[in-house]
Chains A and B, each alone.
Chain A
Amino acid sequence: MITDNPKSAPVPSSPAKPIAKLEAAFAAARAAGRKALAPFVTAGDPDLATTVAVLEAVDRAGATLCELGVPYSDPIADGPVIQASYTRALGAGITLDGVLSIAKQASAKVTMPILAMVSYSIIFRRGIDRFVTDAKAAGLAGFVVPDLPLEESDEFDSACRAAGLALVRLVTPTTPPERAEAIARKSTGFLYCVSVAGVTGTRTELPPGLLDRIAWLRTKTDVPIVVGFGISSPEQVRAVAAVADGVIVGSALVRVVAESAADATSEMRSQVETFIADLSAATTAA
């Protein structure tokens, strides 16, 4: 199942601004006639070493970039699969420093940029400046902060811009058009288009109107548009990739990791690689 590494263009190493690594990853995908594939991996589920191995596996299998989920005790935007993975990771003792050490170890081994998906509760607790400094030192390229809307984000936005880190913003089906434009203008790295009004988790059908909504957003912004929530199959990836610049696959991969974590590490890696490679193949333009 594993074919050639689809990343044909080289990704520059250690750019001055971490966000440049993200921009280069999108450029490389475009140059290869592909759309971006962005898997989501829960940090520390079931442990640090496994997460590093999963990140290596998704990188090898063709992921363009990766979202590293920072476990949080009260994730209101997440469905049962990601919630349960956070609970397992916290139960196993994961800390923010542990997550950052995963990022640091993995970024030395993989070519894809890694972003943190992190609750603002955790950022606030560490302090914005210290959090951004620590994340940059760990090799992260930026952040998705699902509970930090436009109105509350000025201070964190400034800190990210100063450090050259991406702050990826989210638009959802309930976001009014004018607000969506304002969010797109502020988004750096890419724009996260949430497919459904609801929590994370796989769904069998793409929501009606999604493709039109992406096409409309396309006319409003030049940043890459990446679609997430509910996407798990190659068919869904293919449909979304036809209009968007990339897709995020979260809960489905978290489930693959959870179900195979008991296996020998090599077996788990091969299951993760197969799953990602199948999705990656679906990101190539028809």
Chain B
Amino acid sequence: MPAATAVSSVPDALGRFGRFGGRYVPETLSAALDQLEREYAQAQADPAFHAELDGLLSAFVGRPTPLLFAKRLTEYAGGAQIYFKREDLSHTGAHKINNTLGQGLLAIRMGKRRIIAETGAGQHGVATATACARFGLECVVYMGAEDVRRQAPNVRNMRFMGAEVRPVESGSRTLRDAINEAMRDWMGSVETTHYIIGSVVGPHPFPRIVRDFQSVIGRETVEQCRRQLGRLPDMVVACVGGGSNAAGMFYPFVDHSEVRLVGVEAGGRSGEPGDHAASLSYGSPGILHGSLSYVLQDHDGQTADVHSVSAGLDYPGVGPEHAYWHDTGRVEYTSVTDGEALDAFDLVAQREGVLPALETSHALAWAANEAAKRPPSEILVVCLSGRGDKDAAEIARLRGLAADGSEK
């Protein structure tokens, strides 16, 4: 067990990660958040809960996901050995399902049969629709209208599984607006509905619960590195929007101070305000969607407009635990541009036979570049958080290609 002063010993009883986190929500939601906190504590102490979740993660999701040596990418970079933690091989094609199954079971324990969720790239929406179909729960997913357009395959899949997808036309019509609408739904439905937040954001206890459910990624990676490689890696890299795959990957490593941890944010078109979605790189402490963290905001605390080619990273905030790791220096945060991410998509597709999600491509871009600067004795693990099928049509459109990928 980590010592009391370990980096991992957060949050406190009020949901604080250092000074970040907390619960800044309308009073209407307070009772439901208290109920969720109590239920989660009971579930954690209940072997039957763990047995059911572990069984689903194994037979339904296909865990453990493999740790793959990226041989030809390593040769290309010519430096450190690059490994992929293959979350893209999870059922539904991304890590999001780890959380939705866990929270779905919590909802059932609380007697709530209606589920709402927000989604950006659609991966969390699909994972929520999947859990709801599996558990027989009603499912409504809020999704920005711009994201409905650019992530159409996921919208279709959600509908196939019986979920209702509600496009959100307000604001920037992306992830942030989808969260606003899901919160408003919850304000009026909180007694019968559970809101499955998809990232390590939102009011306490969500950042902690989502981190815990996603930590299966990092726990498996620690074990696989020890078994396959005989030691822990030198460096672990993950993309960060709200930050759920990164939190799940990093958390089991944070007390291993010898392992360098790097979160890669969406650098968009440039570092100018409105051109990116890199909250830790360019933002400042503020309150958004119920917690205190780094936020891209103006002088008055109004949330800024953001941009990323990746719908899943197109968010002006970040989970409070990342803010804590940022300020304590335990995790480094950096960003890569839209163009670098698109190049990494091609590189990994052509050299590894893996189509990565555009979100993941941000981590891959930084990792390939960094590996080139490190000696071959070093090991670098990238969280390959999701697969890129959902992005293929949008990438073709951005490049002016025909739907079949040929030159027009």
Cα(A96)–Cα(B190), bound, Å: 32
- Give the interface segment out of B69-77, B123-131, B254-262, B285-293: B285-293
Selected from A78, A83, A121, A198, the residue in CB contact (under 8 A) with B288 is A121
Given the contacts A147-B25, A174-B191, A83 and B170 also touching, CB distance less than 8 Å: yes
- Chain B contacts of A74 at CB under 8 A? 171, 176, 180, 288-289, 303
Cα(A108)–Cα(B163), bound, Å: 54
Given the contacts A73-B171, A96-B300, A121-B286, A179 and B26 also touching, CB distance less than 8 Å: no
Selected from A120, A126, A175, the residue in CB contact (under 8 A) with B30 is A175
- Chain A contacts of B170 at CB under 8 A? 83, 87
Contact A198 B24 (CB under 8 A): no
- Chain B contacts of A205 at CB under 8 A? none
Contact A197 B14 (CB under 8 A): no
Contact B287 A174 (CB under 8 A): no
- Chain B contacts of A172 at CB under 8 A? 26-28
B317: nearest chain-A partner, CB-CB? A74
Task: Give residues 125-165 of A contacting B (CB, 8 Å).
Answer: 125-126, 146-152
* Interchain nearest-CB distance for B227 vs A (Å): 44
- Chain B contacts of A19 at CB under 8 A? none
A95 interface hit (Cβ, 8 Å): yes
A20 interface hit (Cβ, 8 Å): no
Contact A149 B191 (CB under 8 A): no
- Give the interface segment out of B91-99, B181-189, B371-379: B181-189
Contact A149 B300 (CB under 8 A): no
Contact A197 B191 (CB under 8 A): yes
- Chain A contacts of B25 at CB under 8 A? 76, 147, 149
- Chain A contacts of B299 at CB under 8 A? 95, 125
B214 interface hit (Cβ, 8 Å): no
Selected from B27, B31, B180, B190, the residue in CB contact (under 8 A) with A76 is B180
B271 interface hit (Cβ, 8 Å): no
B339 interface hit (Cβ, 8 Å): no
B241 interface hit (Cβ, 8 Å): no
B144 interface hit (Cβ, 8 Å): no
A194 interface hit (Cβ, 8 Å): yes
Given the contacts A72-B302, A76-B183, A125 and B297 also touching, CB distance less than 8 Å: yes
- Chain A contacts of B176 at CB under 8 A? 74
- Chain A contacts of B31 at CB under 8 A? 174-176, 179
Contact B184 A183 (CB under 8 A): no
- Chain A contacts of B22 at CB under 8 A? 151-152
Cα(A147)–Cα(B289), bound, Å: 10
15 A-B interface contacts by CB (under 8 A): A74-B289, A76-B180, A76-B289, A79-B184, A95-B300, A96-B301, A120-B24, A120-B287, A121-B303, A124-B287, A149-B25, A149-B26, A174-B30, A174-B190, A176-B31
Chain B residues in the interface with A (C-beta under 8 A): 14, 22-32, 170-171, 176, 180, 183-184, 187-188, 190-191, 285-290, 292, 297, 299-303
Known: A74-B303, A121-B288, A125-B301. 15 other contacts (CB 8 A): A72-B301, A73-B302, A76-B180, A77-B28, A121-B301, A124-B285, A124-B301, A125-B286, A149-B26, A150-B30, A169-B27, A172-B26, A174-B190, A197-B187, A199-B184
